Amino acid sequence: MIADVKKTAEQKMQKSLETLKADLGKVRTGRAHVGLLDHIMVDYYGSPTAINQVANLTLIDARTIGVAPYEKKMLGAVEKAIRDSDLGLNPASMGELIRVPMPALTEERRKELIKVVRSEAEGARVAIRNVRRDANNELKNLVKDKAISEDEERRAQDDIQKLTDKFVAEVDKALQAKETELMTV
C-alpha cells in the first residue's frame, strides 16, 4: 500500500517536471530550434494539422528555421500559419522553402521572459507540493483505516518529502538553465 502511494506520487511529480520542461521549451530565446513551431496548426484542406505533418522543419543556421512544405500548394497556408501564430515571427518565402528568421531579443524582453519562466517554475513547484499533500493525506487515511502503523506512516512521509525535495531541485535546475539561456546574447 505504501509503495503504491509513493509510486503514484513519484509518477505525478515526474509528469509535473516534464510539463514544466515542455513549457520552458516553448519560450523563445532568440536561438532557433524546430521545436518552437511544434504547436502551430496549418489549415490542411479544411482540417487543422500540426506543421510538422505538412512540412519538413530544418535549421538553416543558429538564427533561422527552414520550412519546406511537402506539397507546393501548401506554401501559402504554412507561411500564413507561422505569421498568424503567437510567436511574433515573420517568415519569408523563397521558392519552395520558407525561411523563418529569429529576431534578437531586447534586454527588456529577456527580463519579461525570465518573469514568465519563473512563474512557470513556481507553478511546477506548487504542483509537486500538491502531490506531496495528496500522498500524505492518503497515508493518514491508511492509518485511520488501521492498514498501516503510525511509524510506517512517518517513514513513508519522510520518503515522500525526500521525493518532493528531489523534484523541486530538478525544477530549480531547469529554471536556472533556462534563465542562463535567456540571458546569453
Burial group, residue 70, by CB count within 10 angstroms (0-12, 13-18, 19+): exposed
Checking if the pLDDT of 184 tops 90, the result is: no
> How far apart are alpha carbons 106 and 114 in whole angstroms?
12
pLDDT of residue 110: 83
Q: Model confidence over 131-177: pLDDT tens digits? A: 999 999 999 999 999 989 999 999 999 999 999 999 999 999 999 99
Instruction: Give me the mean pLDDT over the 96-112 stretch.
Output: 84
Q: What domains are there in the chain, each with its CATH number?
A: 2-26+106-183 (1.10.132.20), 34-101 (3.30.1360.40)
pLDDT digits (tens, 9 = 90+) for 53-96: 999 999 888 888 999 999 988 898 999 998 888 777 889 988 88
Would residue 42 be called left, alpha or beta, if left means φ above 0 and alpha means ψ between -120 and 50 degrees?
Answer: beta
pLDDT at position 30: 65
First vs last C-alpha separation in the chain: 51
pLDDT at 35: 78
pLDDT band of residue 44 (cuts 50, 70, 90) is confident
Q: Which triple of cell numbers denotes residue 141?
A: 487515511
Which pLDDT score is estimated for 107?
83
> For the chain, what is the mean pLDDT?
88
**Per-residue confidence band for 28, with pLDDT thresholds at 50, 70 and 90:** low
**Residue 164 and residue 132: Cα distance in Å, rounded?**
7
